[in-house]
Amino acid sequence: MNEPILHHYPTSPFAEKVRLVLGAKALPWRSVFIPAVMPKPDVVALTGGYRKTPVMQLGADIYCDTALICRVLDTLQPQAPLYPPGCEGVAELIAQWADQQLFWTAVPYTMQPAGLAQVFGDAPPEQMKAFAADRAAYAPQLRRPTPADAEAALRSMLGWMESQLGHQSERLSAEHGPWMAGPARSIADFACAHPLWFVRLAPAVAGVLDGFPRVGEWLQRMLSLGHGPSTRMKSAEAIGVAATAAAAGLHAPVFVHPDLGFQPREAVTVCATDVGLDPVAGELVGLTTDRVTVERIDPRAGRVHVHFPRIGYQIKRQKASTP
């Protein structure tokens, strides 16, 4: 089996979500470090424009967004299921909430001045400035909460998680749980863990977690999953892996469902609807109610298939160019 290649950087919370999934599934993987700010030429060679972190690659198939990456990993290694029967629906509902609301609360909370200094370590002021400028352009329309707003919201959310874990522990033995969505560990746990992992990177502000002992114990159990066995790879090598698979015509099977408003091989763009709106242009080769895939040809990576979840992405027909 081809090892999944994860394009990521160490301080990315969404990358931590996937690293913990890889740890839970004990899947060997290849690790490519990418820049935290633009430009990211080797990422864009694979994705065609998508610049968020992380991105997962299997040969010439490029998977964007952790909602899809986690689905693909669960198919690759069904052991330690992320969508256990019986709590799949509630697990997805909690995961969607955590990836949006909890993330956009925990991150601004942590990035207040005292936390920022610790997340960035000894980074020189120019690097901090470059980061601030990059993120301002990345999410221009976003109204960021003040530290006071973020702390109040985070405390409420931690309270909900504490009571959810308390409810579970009445029914479960300590060794099996409690878990966020019920009787088994699920995608909900990984989605709730990564924003709180980020808070813990900054001890100056991490005291907010202290009042929530069940959350603290659960987070410890989640983080002790680790990241599984990984081997470093250079980004140029990963592009070579894509080019080789593309030249052999090796892509995951996809199809365009006929009832979803688009024709196979239509020229389209796909772009996120929240932040990081860089569109990816290509020919539509896959469309279902939960995934969309475009094919594009890159001078270095070759004919790659770039896959996105359907939720949170907009597909647009490309305007035909006038002759």
Ligand X SMILES: N[C@@H](CCC(=O)N[C@@H](CS)C(=O)NCC(=O)O)C(=O)O
Bond prior to 140 in cis (omega within 30° of 0): no
CB of 3 to ligand X, least distance (A): 20
CB 87 within 8 A of CB 182: yes
Bond prior to 178 in cis (omega within 30° of 0): yes
Q: In sequence order, which ranges of 139-233 are alpha helices (DSSP H)?
A: 147-169, 187-200, 213-223
Closer by beta carbon to ligand X, 138 or else 262: 138
- Work out which of 117, 138, 162, 252 binds ligand X, going by CB under 6 A: 138
Site for ligand X in 275-304 (CB under 6 A): 276
In eight-state DSSP terms, residue 267 is E
- Work out which of 5, 6, 14, 50 binds ligand X, going by CB under 6 A: 14
Residue 195: closest CA among 4, 20, 5: 20
Count of CB atoms situated within 10 Å of the CB of 114: 13
Residue pointed to by tokens 């024709």: 263
- Which residues is 256 bridged to in the sheet? 287
Q: Which residue is nearest to ligand X (CB)?
A: 52
CB of 151 to ligand X, least distance (A): 20
CB of 134 to ligand X, least distance (A): 7
Question: Given the DSSP bridges, would you call strands 230-232 and 29-33 parallel, antiparallel or unpaired?
Answer: parallel
Site for ligand X in 22-81 (CB under 6 A): 36, 51-53, 65-67
CB of 274 to ligand X, least distance (A): 7
Closer by beta carbon to ligand X, 17 or else 214: 17
Closer by beta carbon to ligand X, 142 or else 260: 142
Look at residue 95 and give its three-state secondary structure. helix
Closer by beta carbon to ligand X, 36 or else 80: 36
**C-alpha–C-alpha distance, residues 19 and 30, integer Å:** 11
Residue 105 binds to ligand X (criterion: CB under 6 A): no
Total residues interacting with ligand X, rule: CB under 6 A: 13
Closer by beta carbon to ligand X, 52 or else 307: 52
Closer by beta carbon to ligand X, 81 or else 276: 276
Site for ligand X in 188-207 (CB under 6 A): none
Q: For residue 98, what are its two tokens?
A: 């955590």
- Work out which of 99, 189, 295, 298 binds ligand X, going by CB under 6 A: 99
Residue 306: closest CA among 275, 273, 272: 272
CB of 141 to ligand X, least distance (A): 15
Closer by beta carbon to ligand X, 243 or else 313: 313
**C-alpha–C-alpha distance, residues 108 and 95, integer Å:** 19
Site residues for ligand X per CB under 6 A = 12-14, 36, 51-53, 65-67, 99, 138, 276
